């Protein structure tokens, strides 16, 4: 009898996945709902899913999944919830006020290990975007010749004072890009500079009043600093690491266990939105118009729509087309939750003293990154999945990361805690 029930459940799930995949191929289909839940075993456990987001361009796939109705197609209603800070997102994920979030990769890992905050078993369901953040230096620094890492290092050596740089959350991606970038230029971010935490939408205002010399944040806030005449782009994060992991769709392990069907449905809706955004120029422009609105990022469309197309300017008269701009899908290459991506953040947490001991890097990544679940969903939607859950990349300092020897990698940097 139990076998019979399990078989029926499996069949039901297959029905749902097949119907959902067919729907993806042809767009919303009248009466799909009944087809998807025909066997009843795969109905999402929750009708509504509250997904927290911070006002950043890379929240777009979550927002568009809701705005374009991809969520309804898979039997759920996504409620995008605008949050004020990453610390707020963390607390609401942990206490269950949010079901999921558009969230920093390193934040999820920090909570999983209890690094400097609450400890709870967490899950990375999929990556939401690659690339598309930047390091902004103040116009005051640029006027003195500090326009990139080496020239900043030179200025800091000759004009001695306390230099302040901001990231968005201690274990998050921006703090790690800022640390890595400074160290690659020979600046020790722990002893040679002061690092503070500022929520993304407050970066530009804080630089305007002189609270910091530089910051690392997602768009549109770097471009906004140029438009407002207070900052310049020293480097993009894709200069630091081409096609680097950035935000993820994150939740608690408990949520996935209790709501497997809901989780799958949300992943499908967000994946379809990611495909839609990357499908062409018109979609990207519509996305920019949507997320610029007050309910989401609350900025002008022109702060968003250039860099999502790879049209960059640095605020000093240089313009260029960057093929490695922010991507949301890129034929599935973006969304796969590589184990090596999660492990990289742990190596940097160890490098900068946020972790006192080496964790079991691979085991932690296997606990957090929901590879099997992602493969399941991708296969139903006929989305390409890489053969290997590790990938290799060369970063700005010439050091290669491939996930093979995380302990040696973390200990191998000259500048570290």
pLDDT of residue 344: 98
As a whole number, mean pLDDT of residues 346-364 equals: 98
Give the pLDDT score at 66: 98
Q: Is the pLDDT of residue 191 over 50?
A: yes
pTM for the whole structure: 0.91
Checking if the pLDDT of 26 tops 50, the result is no
Confidence of residue 2 (pLDDT cuts 50, 70, 90): very low
DSSP at 200: G
pLDDT at 116: 86
Report percent pLDDT > 90 for the chain.
89
Picking from 28, 21, 29, 395, the residue whose alpha carbon sits closest to that of residue 235 is: 395
- CA distances (Å), origin 171, targets 74, 108, 316: 33, 9, 31
Residue-wise pLDDT tens digits, 270-302:
999 999 999 999 999 999 999 999 999 999 999
The whole-angstrom separation of Cα 76 and Cα 95 is 22
Nearest 10 degrees: Cα torsion 184, 189, 195, 197: 50
| Average pLDDT of the residues in 156-184 | 98
Average pLDDT over residues 115-140: 97
The stretch 372-380 carries a mean pLDDT of: 98
Q: Is the pLDDT of residue 105 over 70?
A: yes
The confidence band for 36, taking pLDDT boundaries of 50, 70 and 90, is very low
Q: What average pLDDT does range 104-124 have in this prediction?
A: 97
Q: Is 177 helix (H, G, I), strand (E, B) or coil?
A: helix
Name the residue among 142, 141, 140, 104 with its Cα closest to residue 124.
Answer: 104
**pLDDT tens-digit profile of 316-331?**
999 999 999 999 999 9
Give 21's Cβ-side CA count (13 Å radius).
14
Task: Dump pLDDT digits (tens) for 211-252.
Answer: 999 999 999 999 999 999 999 999 999 999 999 999 999 999
* pLDDT for res 40: 60
pLDDT, mean over the chain = 92
Query: How do residues 69-101 score in pLDDT, each as one tens digit?
Result: 999 999 999 999 999 999 999 999 999 999 999
Per cent of the chain over pLDDT 70 is: 90
């Amino acid at each position: 009898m139990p076998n019979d029930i399990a078989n029926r459940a499996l069949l039901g799930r297959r029905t749902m996945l097949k119907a959902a995949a067919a729907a993806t191929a042809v767009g919303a289909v009248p009466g799909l709902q009944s087809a998807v839940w025909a066997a009843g075993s795969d109905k999402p456990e929750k009708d509504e899913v509250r997904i927290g987001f911070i006002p950043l361009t890379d929240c777009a796939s979550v927002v568009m999944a809701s705005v374009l109705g991809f969520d309804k197609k898979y039997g759920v209603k996504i409620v995008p919830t605008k949050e004020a800070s990453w610390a707020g997102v963390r607390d609401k994920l942990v206490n269950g006020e949010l079901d999921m979030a558009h969230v920093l990769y390193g934040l999820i890992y920090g909570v999983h290990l209890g690094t400097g905050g609450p400890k709870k078993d967490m899950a990375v369901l999929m990556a939401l975007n690659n690339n598309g953040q930047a390091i902004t230096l103040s116009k005051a620094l640029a006027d003195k010749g500090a326009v990139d890492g080496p020239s900043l290092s030179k200025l800091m050596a000759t004009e001695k004072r306390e230099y302040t740089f901001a990231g968005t959350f201690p274990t998050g991606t921006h703090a790690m890009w800022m640390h890595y970038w400074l160290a690659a230029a020979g600046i020790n971010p722990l002893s040679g500079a002061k690092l503070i935490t500022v929520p993304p939408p407050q970066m530009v205002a804080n630089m305007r009043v002189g609270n910091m010399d530089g910051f690392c944040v997602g768009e549109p806030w770097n471009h906004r600093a140029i438009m407002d005449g207070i900052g310049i782009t020293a480097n993009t994060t894709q200069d630091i690491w081409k096609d680097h992991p950035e935000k993820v769709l994150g939740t608690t392990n408990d949520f996935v266990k209790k709501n497997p069907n809901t989780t799958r449905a949300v992943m499908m809706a967000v994946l379809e939105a990611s495909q839609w955004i990357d499908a062409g120029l018109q979609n990207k422009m519509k996305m920019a118009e949507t997320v610029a609105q007050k309910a989401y990022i609350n900025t002008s469309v022109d702060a968003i729509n250039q860099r999502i197309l790879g049209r960059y300017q640095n605020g000093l008269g240089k313009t260029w087309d960057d093929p490695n701009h922010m991507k949301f899908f890129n034929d599935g290459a973006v969304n796969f939750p590589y184990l090596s991506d999660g492990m990289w953040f742990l190596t940097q947490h160890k490098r900068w003293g946020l972790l006192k001991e080496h964790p079991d890097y691979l085991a932690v990544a296997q606990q957090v990154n929901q590879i099997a679940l992602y493969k399941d969903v991708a296969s139903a939607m006929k989305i390409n999945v890489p053969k290997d859950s590790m990938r290799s990349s060369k970063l700005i300092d010439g050091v290669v990361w491939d996930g093979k020897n995380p302990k040696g990698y973390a200990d191998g940097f000259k500048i570290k805690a």
